């Protein structure tokens, strides 16, 4: 009775792996059409590498290759089909599918697009560029990776400072304890006896570390810009208009492009009132511009900008699963969800 929760978690993990293996098997079958030898088929070699990285069993891998190459009876003919359309709020979407039944797939697409609009071929493709991403490590520590990428024709370059991703959920209790020791995370005796307690403690510690790193980065930025801010304050000293004489007010108005009538130029009170009114109108316009500029599209930010934006708006990323904090799409969706809740 007490071990039922263990069986449930194992079943969930097995189902998740089954979905991954199924997707990879389809990729291998399609790639194997051009030859069953990975050495002569670069697409198959890439698919096999991804399958091995996901720990796919050798028998499943070989069976998928033979099935795709037509070496087994009852081979499956997969087709690659592309659908275009709009999600709610007219967001353009392209969906690439690998299917053995086009009719079933198109019916599923219609269901998924029921809140949007399923378009014809070419309706949104003009708005996209088909790009690839290459992950690489420099052969030497002193090598200039950015220069090498630019010379190779890369459009963009990004350094991965986060290192290798680790799925804590899949670790055993012993592996979690070892991970905590390697990362200087202290666990109590009780936490070392229960996987759930150890996992929660590690997640909390890693969340605190990320927030501390973000605060340190912000402090460095503030120190770098400190001198500039002081200079700007000195330059923008407020002018006491009431202490000026009539000639000073007229001169101040001309320097700030404030138009005064002939009557206002003859009376100090009239000139003072006109200048203050013009300055108040300018402040209101700048305030409106600031409010408009504060609206930020989260889905245009990169990962570091998302973290800074979340901190500035009081959104804690520490509540996200550890593996999702390094996934740009997951972080964007989480922040947008929190913003929508606040509205």
The CATH classification number of 10-69 equals: 1.10.10.200
Segments in the chain below pLDDT 50: 1, 163-164, 227-238, 289-293
What pLDDT, on a 0 to 100 scale, did the predictor assign at position 203? Answer: 80
Characterize 299-337 residue by residue with b for buried, 16 or more Cβ atoms within 10 angstroms of its Cβ, and e for exposed.
Answer: eebebeebbebbbeeebebeebebeebeeeeebbebbee
What pLDDT, on a 0 to 100 scale, did the predictor assign at position 83? Answer: 93
What pLDDT, on a 0 to 100 scale, did the predictor assign at position 231? Answer: 43
CA atoms within 13 A on the CB side of 9: 10
What pLDDT, on a 0 to 100 scale, did the predictor assign at position 92? Answer: 93
Residues 326, 210: Cα–Cα separation, whole Å: 11
What pLDDT, on a 0 to 100 scale, did the predictor assign at position 293? Answer: 42
What pLDDT, on a 0 to 100 scale, did the predictor assign at position 6? Answer: 57
Architecture of domain 79-127: 2-Layer Sandwich (3.30)
Residues 303, 327: Cα–Cα separation, whole Å: 8
Residues 111, 59: Cα–Cα separation, whole Å: 36
Confirm whether pTM is higher than 0.75. Answer: no
User: Which residues are 91's β-sheet partners?
Assistant: 87
């Amino acid at each position: 009775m007490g071990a039922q929760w263990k069986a449930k978690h194992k079943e969930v993990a097995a189902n998740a792996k089954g979905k991954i293996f199924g997707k990879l098997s389809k990729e291998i079958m399609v790639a194997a059409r051009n030859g069953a030898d990975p050495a002569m088929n670069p697409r198959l070699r890439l698919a096999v590498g991804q399958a091995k990285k996901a720990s796919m069993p050798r028998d499943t891998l070989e069976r998928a290759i033979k099935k795709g190459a037509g070496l087994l009876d009852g081979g499956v003919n997969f087709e690659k089909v592309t659908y275009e359309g709009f999600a709610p709020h007219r967001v353009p979407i392209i969906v690439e599918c690998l299917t053995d039944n086009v009719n079933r797939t198109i019916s599923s697409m219609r269901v998924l697009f029921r809140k949007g609009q399923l378009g014809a071929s070419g309706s949104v493709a003009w708005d996209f560029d088909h790009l690839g991403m290459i992950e690489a490590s420099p052969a030497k520590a002193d090598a200039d990776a950015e220069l090498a990428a630019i010379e190779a024709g890369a459009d963009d370059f990004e350094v991965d400072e986060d290192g290798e991703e680790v799925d804590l959920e899949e670790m055993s209790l012993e592996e979690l304890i070892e991970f905590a020791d390697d990362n200087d995370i202290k666990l109590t005796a009780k936490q070392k006896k229960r996987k759930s307690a150890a996992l929660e403690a590690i997640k909390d510690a890693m969340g605190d570390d990320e927030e501390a790193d973000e605060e340190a980065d912000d402090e460095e930025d503030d120190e770098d810009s400190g001198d500039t801010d002081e200079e700007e304050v000195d330059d923008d000293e407020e002018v006491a208009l009431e202490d000026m004489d009539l000639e000073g007010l007229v001169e101040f108005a001309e320097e700030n492009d404030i138009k005064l009538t002939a009557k206002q130029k003859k009376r100090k009170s009239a000139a003072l009132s006109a200048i203050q009114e013009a300055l108040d109108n300018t402040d209101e316009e700048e305030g409106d511009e600031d409010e408009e500029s504060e609206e930020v599209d989260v889905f245009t930010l990169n990962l570091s900008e998302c973290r800074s934006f979340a901190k500035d708006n009081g959104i804690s990323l520490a509540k996200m699963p550890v593996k999702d904090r390094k996934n740009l799409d997951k972080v964007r969706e989480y922040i947008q969800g929190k913003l929508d809740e606040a509205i």
